[in-house]
């Protein structure tokens, strides 16, 4: 089968599109005929050797995947050959940037039926990140106020929608090009961060501050003043510290997304109910994945890119 993999850490040039052996599932594993994987900045970080995730080389990236089950290992219950599934795969194992991938059965859930199967690869890790940031780490509840910094990004828009659906008052930052999308996601207030000082624009304090953007550390620290005593600052930018304020009881936490089958199943149900929109901005063939990594190395990739093996 065809796959993209790297045998040493380094720049995008270490990625190779090549023939590899089709994997066979062990006990409690299934093999998926891949419809699509999704590119993530974390994939690039693992390839470059800057994320502390112990991958075994050679490694196939693409931990977000969608596809069809085509082989079962021993002891697998609840899945059958032909099932359409999505999953957030263990990051240390081979991913879905290939024609087939082997995955733990417990990492997979039924795919949404309301969108193309390939597009569903764009859902798992980013939607789980937003959910865990808001509710598991941020303890956000109905009636509270949340400020989402970087709401125009993929995780940010999921966070806005999920927070609004939970009954929170959502204040969001966005540039003019994404203001309409952020409002459509459910933001009560949208602040143009390109022209407005947040400290002046936000009226009153918030219970949760969620940062999803590569913000300046000094600016991030200053924004903690917008969080009420006893509130929470949550960040998805793991490469920089998350500021808090111990004197006021403002807790700081950084999100490291974790697989969660029940949560992913709930997110799929929200997609099929029309309450959550899966964003796909580009679709590229698998052979072009190294070029996408090269593009990401010199600038941020906007939106969510799915990678098609066919």
**DSSP per-residue codes, 238-268:** TTSPPP-BGGGTBEEEE------HHHHHHHH
pLDDT digits (tens, 9 = 90+) for 259-296: 999 999 999 999 999 999 999 999 999 999 999 999 99
Which letter, b or e, does each residue of 142-166 get, where b requires 16 or more Cβ atoms within 10 Å of its Cβ?
eebbbbbbbbbbbbbbbbbbbbbeb
- Classify residue 119 by its DSSP letter: G
> How confident is the model at residue 132, as a pLDDT?
97
Q: Which stretches within 61-144 are classed as H helix?
A: 124-131
Give the containing element (helix H, strand E) for 296. helix 289-298
> How confident is the model at residue 129, as a pLDDT?
97
* Structure-derived torsion over alpha carbons of residues 37, 157, 266, 46, reported in degrees to the nearest 10: 40
Tokens of 38: 């999704």
> How confident is the model at residue 310, as a pLDDT?
79
Q: What number of CA atoms fall less than 13 Å from residue 61's CA on the CB side?
A: 30
In the chain, which stretches have pLDDT less than 70?
none
Task: Say what the pTM is.
Answer: 0.96
> How confident is the model at residue 27, as a pLDDT?
98
For residue 38, list its beta bridge partners: 64, 306
Coil, strand, or helix at residue 147?
A: strand
């Amino acid at each position: 089968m065809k796959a993209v993999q790297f045998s040493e850490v380094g720049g995008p040039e270490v990625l190779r599109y090549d023939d590899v052996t089709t994997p066979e599932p062990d006990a409690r594993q299934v093999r998926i005929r891949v419809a699509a994987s999704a590119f993530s900045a974390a994939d690039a970080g693992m390839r470059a050797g800057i994320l502390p995730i112990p991958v075994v080389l050679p490694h196939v990236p693409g931990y977000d995947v969608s596809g069809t089950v085509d082989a079962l290992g021993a002891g697998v219950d609840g899945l059958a050959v032909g099932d359409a599934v999505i999953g957030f795969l263990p990051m240390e194992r081979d991913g879905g940037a290939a024609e087939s991938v082997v995955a733990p059965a417990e990492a997979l859930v039924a795919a949404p039926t309301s969108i193309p199967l390939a597009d569903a690869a764009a859902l798992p890790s980013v939607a789980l990140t937003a959910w865990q940031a808001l509710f598991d780490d941020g303890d956000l509840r109905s009636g509270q106020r949340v400020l989402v910094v970087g709401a125009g990004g993929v995780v940010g828009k999921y966070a806005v929608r999920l927070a609004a659906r939970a009954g929170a008052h959502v204040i969001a930052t966005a540039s003019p090009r994404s203001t309409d999308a952020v409002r459509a996601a459910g933001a009560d207030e949208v602040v143009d961060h390109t022209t407005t000082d947040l400290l002046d624009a936000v009226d009153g304090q918030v219970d949760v501050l969620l940062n999803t953007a590569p913000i300046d550390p000094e600016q991030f620290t200053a924004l903690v003043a917008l969080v009420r005593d006893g509130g929470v600052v949550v960040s998805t930018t793991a490469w920089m510290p998350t500021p808090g304020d111990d004197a006021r009881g403002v807790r700081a936490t950084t999100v490291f997304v974790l697989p969660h089958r029940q949560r992913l199943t709930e997110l799929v149900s929200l997609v099929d109910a029309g309450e959550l929109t899966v964003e796909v901005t580009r679709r590229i063939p698998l052979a072009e994945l190294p070029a996408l990594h090269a593009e990401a190395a010199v600038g941020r990739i906007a939106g969510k890119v799915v990678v098609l093996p066919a």
